[in-house]
Structure 1
Amino acid sequence: MRPLRLRLLHAQNLSPRLRLPVTHFSTCATRHDLRPLTRRLFKFPTAPTPSTHHHDLPSFLSYAERISLPQTSTVYVGTHYEYTVLHKLRQCALTLHRVGGRDDAGIDLMGTWHLPERERELALRVVVQCKSLKTKLGPNLVRELEGALRNAPVGWRTEQTVGMLVSPREATKGVRDAMARSGYPLLWMMVERDGTMRQALWNARAELLGLGPLGVETRYTGGDGGGDLSENVSTEVALTWDGADIPDMDCVEQDLERVEDQWAASWGVAPSEKAALLEAIENLCLESSIPSGADKVSASDRTKVLQTMQERARQRHGE
């Protein structure tokens, strides 16, 4: 059994041998959200209602310019940082949504974490607090995060939920000690305001959720390509899983869609009819609606589902 201690990994204490190039993540089109069908099929919690004014960094910047929001204001700095973190953590297989508003229960971002071995219906729930603060970071931040976890929406109030603190500053000793003592699974990420990740640490309680293979490597970019580091070389850290890169959310979404199509095919249904298939299964209150349970459906239930789809198709065509 692993010792009950805080696991701390960051750029300053990693071996110089890990001089790996910066990962170039997927450049395919990004939806920045899972489809409602995907959420229903894999039992992911419903995403919070987005702001009516903005939903990502570009739309926020447009909104801020339109209303002449000062770039030095607390609202501008905080919201800009939250969207920066949201975009950065997509590279680590997190799909997050900005909460905001008076009834946010102290939560800035929330979503799901699709790590290898924890993807699909086993994805972890994540509650994030972003602390873009100039003041000293103390253990009170950990207590605030614990309170946010206790008051999280129903879909995130589970034993498979992790709390994450993100700040452009390193965790202090007080924060590290408070995390180590906490009975909640907690992570700390140091992400600078430009999106560069500098530090990642988590407590033993997080490892009990199956995060043992999670690790951190330092990545180098720039320089002359030689063996020696130069002043032009920049570094950042990247999360890994069992020593390999974690697939980013673009890759995760592609995998989920592939599994959805295979699931539909196992019913003899075209991909375009996935929504109708799921609706028929839900209307019949079948338990095995997720792809991993498709082979557990009885022949009689399978017949009922397909008959229901046929009836609804005739109704749509006015037959």
Structure 2
Amino acid sequence: MYSGVSRYCSAVPYGIRVRWYAARAARAPSHLQTFLAQSTDKDQLSTTFRGKMFELQTLEALSDIGMELQHVGGRSDGGVDLRGIWPLERVKPNVIVQCKNTKMGCTPDHLRSLIGAMAEHRNNAIGVLATVHHRHFTRDVISLFTSSGTPLALARIENTQLESFVFNDAAEQLLQQLVITKRFDAYGNSKTVVMFPK
């Protein structure tokens, strides 16, 4: 069973606890804004620039659902681009994120690398493999993802928005059936909602 970000307004069922997250506008300048302001003289088409920008976009998107992450990516990052904690009401798992902004999309090797990077946190951590919104996860990635006993999530990011976010069974068990969705007002503005069943 997968939980994910929905593009449609939905009523919050009775017996579900809801937690809203503040809009990004109320925050101090983001790591992404600082990076872009300091990169005006850089080659914005280089893979290094695009990779770091995607890592920071992913950081912002996952911060919108309450994750508290630090950017640790670099040449020798050991497969970890973002690291932190997700301080939820019922559980506070460590989070390890690998970001892939590649032309060919994510491969099972990317997912295996993430699982390996999580070795020291297996009991209380979730690994997130993030890619750009127009890349889909291959059948082989999905197969490894669903069969893994390691808590994992797959994320697709568009700019700084979480386009989709799904958990495997191990992650759903760790996160106690957490549900993430978007709620829309009459004007089409959305808020991210994180819910737990009672």
User: Normalized against structure 2, the TM-score is what?
Assistant: 0.79
- Is the contact between residue 74 and residue 81 of structure 2 (CA under 8 Å) also seen in structure 1? no
Rounded Cα–Cα distance in structure 2 between residues aligned with 1:174 and 1:94 = 28
2:106 aligned counterpart, secondary structure: coil
Aligned length: 188
Q: Which structure has the bigger radius of gyration?
A: 1
Q: Distance in 1 between matches of 2:191 and 2:112?
A: 26
- Which structure 2 residues correspond to residues 23-172 of structure 1 after superposition, within 5 A? 25-26=22-23, 28-30=26-28, 56-65=31-40, 68-118=41-91, 123-150=92-119, 157-168=121-132, 169-172=135-138
Aligned partners of 1:29 and 1:138: how far apart in 2?
A: 35
Query: What is residue 4 of structure 2 aligned with on the other side?
Result: 9
User: How far apart are 1:191 and its partner, in Å?
Assistant: 1.1
Deviations 1:275-308 (Å, cap 9, x if unpaired)? xxxxxxxxxxxxxxxxxxxxxxxxxxxxxxxxxx
1:226-305 alignment, distance < 5 Å:
238=192, 240-242=194-196
What is residue 204 of structure 1 aligned with on the other side?
169
Q: Is the 8 A contact 1:113 1:125 kept in 2?
A: yes
Instruction: Please give the per-residue CA displacement for 1:122-168, whole angstroms capped at 9, x wherever unaligned.
Output: x2111100111221433222112112213xxxxx6351111111112
**AA in 1 matched with 2:22:** F
Verify the 8 A CA contact 2:67 2:86 in the aligned structure 1.
Answer: yes
Closer, same or farther: CA 80–241 of 1 in aligned 2, 3 Å? same
Q: CA deviation at 1:185?
A: 0.6
**CA shift digits 1:197-222 (9 cap, x unpaired):** 2211111111222x13311324447x
Question: 1:88 and 1:111 mapped to 2: Cα distance?
Answer: 14
Does the C-alpha gap of structure 1 residues 242 and 198 become closer, same or farther in structure 2, counting only changes over 3 Å?
A: same
More helix by share: 1
**Any stretches of 5+ residues in structure 1 without a counterpart?**
1-5, 33-55, 151-155, 227-232, 244-319
Q: Given that residues 3 and 178 in structure 2 are in contact (C-alpha distance below 8 angstroms), is that contact kept between their aligned partners in structure 1?
A: no
1:139 partner letter: P
| Residue in 1 that maps onto 2:151 | 185
Q: What's the offset of the Cα at 1:90?
A: 1.5
List per-residue Cα deviations over 1:56-86 (Å, max 9, x = no partner).
Answer: 1122123322xx2111111111111111111
TM-score, normalised by the number of residues in structure 1: 0.51
| Structure with higher RCO (Cα < 8 A, 6+ apart) | 2
Give the Cα–Cα distance (whole angstroms) in 2 for the partners of residues 183 and 134 of structure 1: 28
SS at match of 1:7: coil
Match of 1:49 in 2: none
Q: Which amino acid aligns with 1:148?
A: A
